[in-house]
């Protein structure tokens, strides 16, 4: 068992490193470097050469990579070239926002999707189930940024209920933090709910036809109660899988929402760093994000054992075999 755990950890770190190497190479294949960005449109060739020298951009690629790697091992993610800010500090201060967004979206989406999916499955044969299905399709079709702009236009500009953007950190003002997160979470949840609800619905429908439902009804449950009682647990496993995959997307894939709501999150940091050719920022940030996603998947693998007794018992049997 321990060997399995060790192997998983090694694979995890190995994957993150290989990913970082790919990012390292890709970034250097792009034309332009951070010196041209810092100096801007009026840069003279001498100025560029001097700045490149100063920033260490003239080191060989292997040297740059290993310098960065050794820094990582010491816990030093490096500094940005232009503004000289500490990358670890910057990532840490943005994590609060990104986590709040992702976790908030997933929680809201999971709860609503469970309710909608169960309802839709229970009423699959009449118009109520069909209506949920149609709404889910619409939800998937709506682009997130469009939903975001509509929400801002209605709720912020016209009604003045919520701010149109910007982020108030939790440490500064918890109510302000909630207010600044409501609209972005809503915008992100619309497609997420639609996606998750369909999975829930199909899992529940599967459960409806199982033998143990008939057994439960024989014991005195009504069909809806039986389906909900037994089906929810099974649907949750599917939900967990999809949610974990979506979490990865949410960590760094919310760039558009972060732009529209002027939220200082990891997605914005990443895309700005790529545009500014801040190689070290991109490498370190991608490495951290990859680690987070891989760790998350690892944790989810373990939690399957908790949710699904079959997995728990089969693995125990295997280890003894």
Partner 1 sequence: MREHKPQSGVRGLAGLGRLALASAAVLTLALAPQAAFAQVGTTNLVMSTPQEPPNWDYTVGTATAINGVLFLNVVEPLLETQQDGSLKPLLASYEVTPDGLTYTFKLVKAKFHDDSDFDADDVLYSFEQYKKSPRPEISKTFDAVSNIEKVDASTVKVTLSRPSQAFLAGMSGLAGMMLPEGGLDSLAKAPVGTGPFSFGEWKPGIEVDVKRFEDYHGDKPYFENVRIRFIGDEIAAVNALMAGDIDLINVLVGDGKERADAVKADPKLAVLTTPSNQVNYIALDAKNPKFADIRVRQAIAHAINREDIAIGAYSGFAEPACLFVNPANLPWNSDYCPYNYDPEKAQSLLAEAGADNLDVELKYYNISDGPAMSELLTDELGAVGINVTGASRELAAYLDEVLGSSPNFEMTTLTGPQTVDSFLCPGWFASACVPEFDEAWNKADAAVTADEATALRKQAVNAFADAAWVIPTVAWMDVTYANAKLAGWKPYRSQAEADLRGLHWAE
* Binding stretches for partner 1 (CB under 8 A): 30-34, 36-48, 50-51, 80-85, 90, 111, 114-115, 118, 149, 152-153, 156-157, 160-166, 175, 178-179, 182, 220-221, 225-226, 228-230, 232, 259-262, 264, 268-269, 272, 275-277
Q: State the CB neighbour count (10 A cutoff) for residue 35.
A: 21
Comparing CB distances to partner 1, the nearer of 179 and 298 is: 179
Beta-bridge partner residues of 86? 79
Tell me whether residue 149 or residue 302 sits nearer to partner 1 (CB atom).
Answer: 149
**CB-wise, 90 or 294, nearer to partner 1?**
90
Nearer to partner 1, 133 or 272 (CB): 272
Dist. CA 196–CA 203, nearest whole Å: 11
Structure token digits, residue 93: 């201060």
> What dihedral do alpha carbons 63, 64, 68, 71 form, nearest 10°?
50
Question: Shortest distance, CB of residue 157 to partner 1, whole angstroms?
Answer: 5
Shortest reach from residue 230's CB to partner 1, in Å: 8
CB of 244 to partner 1, least distance (A): 21
Contact 303, 21 (CB under 8 A): no
Q: Which is nearer to partner 1, 16 or 289 (CB)?
A: 289
Nearest to 100 by CA among 88, 108, 89: 108
Residue 79 pairs with which residues in a beta bridge?
86
Beta carbon of residue 131, minimum distance to partner 1 (angstroms, whole number): 20
CB of 11 to partner 1, least distance (A): 34
Residue 259 beta carbon to partner 1: minimum distance, rounded to whole angstroms:
5
Phi, psi (rounded to 5 degrees) for 226:
-65, -45
Give me the phi and psi of 86, to 5 degrees please. -75, 125
Q: Show the tokens assigned to 286.
A: 């991608």
Distance CA 225, CA 208 (A): 11
Minimum distance, C-beta of residue 237 to partner 1, in the bound complex (Å) = 16
Judged by beta carbon, residue 7 or residue 223, the one nearer partner 1 is 223
Residue partners of 303: CB distance under 8 A and separation at least 6: 240
List the beta strands (DSSP E) in 16-133. none
**What backbone torsions phi and psi does residue 170 show, to the nearest 5 degrees?**
-55, -40
Nearer to partner 1, 36 or 244 (CB): 36
């Amino acid at each position: 068992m321990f060997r399995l755990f060790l192997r998983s950890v090694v694979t995890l770190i190995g994957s993150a490193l290989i990913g970082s190497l790919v990012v390292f190479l890709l970034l250097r294949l792009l034309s332009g470097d951070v010196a041209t960005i810092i100096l801007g449109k009026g840069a003279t060739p001498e100025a560029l050469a001097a700045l490149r020298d100063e920033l260490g951009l003239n080191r060989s690629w292997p040297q740059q990579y290993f310098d960065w790697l050794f820094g990582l091992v010491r816990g030093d993610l490096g500094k940005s070239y232009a503004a000289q800010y500490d990358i670890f500090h910057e990532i840490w201060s943005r994590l609060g926002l990104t986590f709040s967004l992702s976790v908030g979206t997933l929680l809201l989406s999971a709860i609503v999707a469970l309710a909608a999916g169960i309802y839709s499955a229970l009423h699959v044969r009449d118009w109520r189930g069909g209506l949920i299905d149609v709404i889910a399709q619409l939800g998937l079709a709506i682009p997130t940024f469009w939903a975001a702009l509509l929400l801002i236009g209605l709720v912020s500009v016209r009604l003045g209920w919520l701010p149109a953007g910007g982020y108030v950190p939790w440490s500064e003002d918890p109510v302000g933090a909630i207010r600044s997160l409501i609209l972005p979470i809503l915008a992100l949840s619309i497609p997420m709910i639609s996606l998750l609800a369909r999975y829930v619905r199909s899992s529940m429908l599967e459960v409806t036809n199982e033998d143990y439902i008939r057994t439960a009804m024989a014991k005195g449950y009504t069909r809806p109660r039986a389906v909900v009682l037994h089906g929810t647990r099974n649907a949750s496993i599917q939900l967990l899988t999809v949610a974990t995959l979506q979490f990865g997307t949410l960590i760094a894939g919310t760039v558009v929402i972060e732009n529209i709501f002027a939220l200082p999150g990891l997605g914005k940091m990443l895309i700005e760093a790529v545009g500014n050719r801040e190689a070290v920022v991109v490498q370190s940030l991608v490495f951290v994000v990859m680690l987070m996603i891989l760790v998350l998947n690892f944790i989810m693998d373990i939690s399957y054992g908790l949710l699904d007794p079959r997995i728990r018992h089969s693995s125990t049997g295997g280890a003894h075999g």
